[in-house]
Amino acid sequence: MGLREHTDAGGIILLFQDELIPGLEFLKDGRWMAVPPTQGNRILVNLGDQIEVITNGTYKSICHRVLPNKNGSRLSIATFYNPGADAIICPASKLTYPSQYRFQDYLDFYSTAKFTDKVFRFQTTKAILK
């Protein structure tokens, strides 16, 4: 089973990835890059949309996908560290961004637009939440 390309809505994601079966890929410079299976209890760290917002784009959320593998089932465990639903999201005070919003408002929008282009999603979010 795979998962089409997307970014994660929240903050920081810790991923314990399968040690044998590949499938995770991330988008870099318009090309999909394979993440090899990890050996020795390594943890992958992924940044979600809220990190991109609070850093005003300094750190980008990562577009990624998981490809199905006919040679076996892939197992991974993701732990999501997200703001509270009522947390007000905005860049650090020295950075600029059009508006502040509750994380729950973003999640409501994200649930309908998760698989759309991230740039479009952020532009739409700015327009909706002004």
Q: Render pLDDT for 8-46 as a digit per residue (tens, 0 to 9).
A: 989 999 998 878 888 899 999 999 999 988 877 788 999
How far is the CA of 122 from the CAs of 11, 15, 55, 97, in angstroms?
15, 24, 14, 11
Where do runs of H (alpha helix) occur along the chain?
A: 49-54, 103-113, 118-128
Q: Render pLDDT for 54-67 as a digit per residue (tens, 0 to 9).
A: 888 889 999 999 99
Q: How far apart are CA 115 and CA 122, in angstroms?
A: 12
Secondary element (H or E) of residue 77:
strand 77-81
What is the count of structural domains for the chain?
1
77: containing domain: 3-128
Q: Render pLDDT for 64-90 as a digit per residue (tens, 0 to 9).
A: 999 988 888 888 889 999 989 898 888
Q: How far apart are CA 12 and CA 66, in angstroms?
A: 18
CATH number of residue 69's parent domain: 2.60.120.330
